[in-house]
């Protein structure tokens, strides 16, 4: 039996941390922020991996593999383009 | 043992993600944020992969390889295309959440009698996950299509009578079916109802974006960003995985904050952006007599710029369209060489996504210290000798201050009109995205430079470089 309330609790606390941290993000960096959070929210990779890799029927594993591909694309392109953009910000 | 690894990894990854976002508070530390994010993701993936129930490694390797094959080219798009890349990645995020939700549902059905998996909490989370996932998927694809100017997706907002009624009807139907599914998850009809919910959410995503125009894209992309994060949170509830919940919540709060900032910068509400069909051409009564434009020559403009002490450049999406940012950098060099202080005034919604102008100018090697936010530059505008408007329109329209009937009424603007002289580069004499005449262009202290932004700036640079001036 899962303790659902602790999950909700984690969600609420994580949201407040998120709001606090994001509010301090430099306004110059909103575009890289968005690509960075894209990559981070591709944490759906964890769920996709479990569906694609476990001993499930093939049809379900196909759904998982497509989801894994989509998440992985976001991770790779998200982190790379964030880094690429951040390298462009120079003081002089 | 592997269970403990998963728990420790989840805590470590969450901490690393929080640091990643924290370091984005300054361009000096921001790159460290990417390293932290990559490390957190690697920890999370490996800890999941080593779990004993993962047995089909070939499938995983193939999907990961495919992700690299598509992801690497997607990270190398030109910076003008970053808004559509971002929208596309929201689509992928939504798709992943939707598909995992669908897979979980059929797994639960297979578990057979009693439907022990279908607790009210988990089924509700599952319904939220697939609705958010699939509507984010198609909505973001539509947004990406509009931004990429794909031929069969209309750029201009498409509206029809009863549109909001239809849209809310589709979403409402999906929600009602979702509630029924939560109440009767093991009913025989559940197998049919679930795909119908998925279909309705997919349709709603398309309908939601059809009436939205280019000027609203920064807000819409931010909202879709929040949805993508929340669908990951819902997946976390379904799979009982705290890491999904924390990382999804971080993304969701980022999307939420950006949406609020974008809405505030346009003086509009979420509901107004999503259901207001902004960007349809609205005829606004011309106030006072119709005035004439005054055109300035390149030589005259160069002279004005050279004699200035403070020049404020106000870029808009037109600069990106004309790919003029590198010429702007040359102009910046020429002016700073002559002792002119040059600053860039950045409106929060300039461009097609939050922060778009900053990235384009940074790419052109303009130091970020010269990029100034609207709220900081406005008090200085009365000291500004020349305000140079490049491809911006609505964000400098003084009508936003008083024209109560105008769609941009109340929107905070950059006070270009308070500068001693205004030079405005404009491709044509057509109104901007909001379809409103801009009276800044006919003010006494405004001089127009008509032409392609890249061409005009290039000509200005030639004036300086060619020694035509001294």
Q: Does B343 have pLDDT greater than 60? A: yes
Q: Is there a contact between A33 and B103 if contact means CB atoms under 8 Å apart?
A: no
Q: In this prediction, what percent of chain A has a pLDDT beyond 70? A: 98
Long-range (24+ apart) CB contacts under 8 A made by B115-119 are B115/B185, B115/B186, B118/B185, B118/B186, B119/A4
- ipTM computed for the complex: 0.96
Domain housing A65: 27-88
Counting every residue written for chain A, the total comes to 92
Q: Is there a contact between B358 and A31 if contact means CB atoms under 8 Å apart?
A: yes
- CATH 3.40.50.1220 boundaries in chain B: 298-465
Residue of B43, B99, B257 to mutate for A, most A C-beta atoms under 10 A: B99
Q: Does A27 have pLDDT greater than 50? A: yes
DSSP type of residue B50: T
Q: Which of residues 236-295 of B touch A (CB under 8 A)?
A: 236-237, 239-258
Instruction: Find the closest chain B residue to A60 by CA distance.
Output: B103
**Residue A41 within a domain:** yes
Q: Does B106 have pLDDT greater than 50? A: yes
Q: Which of residues 137-176 of B touch A (CB under 8 A)?
A: none
The answer to whether A51 and B129 have CB atoms below 8 angstroms apart is no
Q: Which of residues 39-78 of A touch B (CB under 8 A)?
A: 39-57, 59-61, 63-78
Instruction: Find the closest chain B residue to A8 by CA distance.
Output: B237
Neighbouring C-alpha atoms within 13 Å toward the C-beta of B79: 28
The CATH superfamily assigned to B298-465 is TPP-binding domain (3.40.50.1220)
**Residue A36 within a domain:** yes
Q: Is there a contact between B62 and A65 if contact means CB atoms under 8 Å apart?
A: yes
Please give the pLDDT value at position B116. Answer: 75
Calculate the average pLDDT of chain B. Answer: 89
Q: Give the Cα separation of B143 and B213 in Å (integer).
A: 9
pLDDT tens-digit map of B143-180: 999 999 888 887 778 888 888 889 999 999 999 999 99
Q: Give the Cα separation of B349 and B317 in Å (integer).
A: 10
Nearest by CB: A10 against B40, B93, B246:
B246
Q: Looking at residues B51-74, what average pLDDT do you find?
A: 95
Give, in degrees to the nearest 5, the angle at Cα B201 between B198 and B202: 85
A 10 A CB-CB count for B409 gives: 15
Nearest by CB: A29 against B24, B62, B107:
B24
> What's the whole-model pTM score?
0.91
Q: Is there a contact between A33 and B76 if contact means CB atoms under 8 Å apart?
A: no
Q: Give the Cα separation of B223 and B217 in Å (integer).
A: 10
Chain A contact for B4 (CB, 8 A cutoff): no
Q: How many domains does chain A have?
A: 1
Please give the pLDDT value at position B283. Answer: 45
A 10 A CB-CB count for B339 gives: 8
Tokens encoding B231? 């669908």
**Residue A20 within a domain:** no
What is the greatest pairwise CA distance in chain B?
88
The answer to whether B67 and A77 have CB atoms below 8 angstroms apart is no
Residue tagged active-site, from B216, B394, B415, B437? B394
The answer to whether B315 and B350 have CB atoms below 8 angstroms apart is yes
Q: Please indicate whether residue B26 is annotated as part of the active site.
A: no
The answer to whether A85 and B362 have CB atoms below 8 angstroms apart is yes
Please give the pLDDT value at position B436. Answer: 59
Please give the pLDDT value at position B250. Answer: 96
Find, among B156, B179, B164, the residue nearest to B279 by Cα: B156
Please give the pLDDT value at position B195. Answer: 95
Chain A contact for B32 (CB, 8 A cutoff): no
């Amino acid at each position: 039996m899962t303790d659902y309330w602790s999950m909700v609790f984690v969600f609420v606390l994580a949201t407040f941390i998120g709001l606090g941290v994001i509010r301090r993000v430099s306004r110059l960096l909103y575009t890289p922020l968005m690509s960075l959070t894209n990559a981070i929210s591709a944490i759906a990779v964890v769920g996709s991996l479990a569906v694609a890799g476990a001993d499930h029927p093939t049809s379900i594993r196909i759904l998982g593999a497509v989801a894994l591909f989509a998440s992985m694309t976001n991770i790779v392109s998200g982190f790379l383009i964030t880094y690429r953009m951040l390298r462009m910000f120079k003081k002089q | 043992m592997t269970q403990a690894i998963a728990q420790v990894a989840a805590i470590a990854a969450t901490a690393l993600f929080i640091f990643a976002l924290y370091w984005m508070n300054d361009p000096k530390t921001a790159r460290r944020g990417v390293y932290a994010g990559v490390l957190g993701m690697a920890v999370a993936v490996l800890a999941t992969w080593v779990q004993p129930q993962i047995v089909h490694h070939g499938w995983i390797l193939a999907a990961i390889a495919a992700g690299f094959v598509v992801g690497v080219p997607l990270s190398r798009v030109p910076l003008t295309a970053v808004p559509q890349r971002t929208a596309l990645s929201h689509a992928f995020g939504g798709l992943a959440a939707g598909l995992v939700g669908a897979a979980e549902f059929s797994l639960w059905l297979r578990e057979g009698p009693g439907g022990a998996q279908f607790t009210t909490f988990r089924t509700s989370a599952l319904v939220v996950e697939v609705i958010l996932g699939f509507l984010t998927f198609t909505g973001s694809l539509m947004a990406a299509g509009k931004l990429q100017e794909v031929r069969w997706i209309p750029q201009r907002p498409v509206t029809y009578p009863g549109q909001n009624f239809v849209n809310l009807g589709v979403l409402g139907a999906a929600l009602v079916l979702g509630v029924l599914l939560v109440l009767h998850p093991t009913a025989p009809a559940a197998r049919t109802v679930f795909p119908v919910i998925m279909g309705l959410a997919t349709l709603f995503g398309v309908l939601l974006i059809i009436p939205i125009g280019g000027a609203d894209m920064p807000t819409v992309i931010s909202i879709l960003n929040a949805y993508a994060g929340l669908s990951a949170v819902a997946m976390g509830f379904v799979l009982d995985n705290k890491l999904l919940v924390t990382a999804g919540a971080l993304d969701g709060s980022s999307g939420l904050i950006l949406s609020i900032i974008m809405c505030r910068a346009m003086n509009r509400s979420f509901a107004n952006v999503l259901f207001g069909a902004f960007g349809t051409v609205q005829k606004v009564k011309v106030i006072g007599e119709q005035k004439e434009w005054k055109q300035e020559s390149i030589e005259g403009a160069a002279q004005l710029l050279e004699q200035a002490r403070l020049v404020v450049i106000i870029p808009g999406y037109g600069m990106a369209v004309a790919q003029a940012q590198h010429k702007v950098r040359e102009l910046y060099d020429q002016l700073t060489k002559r002792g002119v202080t040059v600053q860039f005034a950045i409106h929060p919604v300039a461009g097609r996504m939050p922060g778009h102008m900053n990235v384009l100018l940074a790419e052109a090697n303009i130091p970020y210290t010269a990029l100034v936010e609207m709220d900081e530059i406005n008090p200085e505008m009365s000291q500004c000798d020349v305000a140079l408007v490049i491809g911006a329109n609505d964000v400098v329209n003084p009508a936003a201050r008083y024209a109560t009937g105008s769609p941009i009424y109340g929107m905070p603007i950059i006070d270009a009109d308070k500068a001693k002289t205004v030079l405005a580069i404009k491709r044509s004499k057509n109104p901007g995205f909001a379809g409103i005449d801009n009276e800044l262009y006919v003010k006494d202290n405004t001089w127009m430079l008509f032409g392609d932004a890249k061409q005009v700036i290039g000509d200005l640079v030639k004036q300086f470089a060619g020694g035509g001036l001294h």
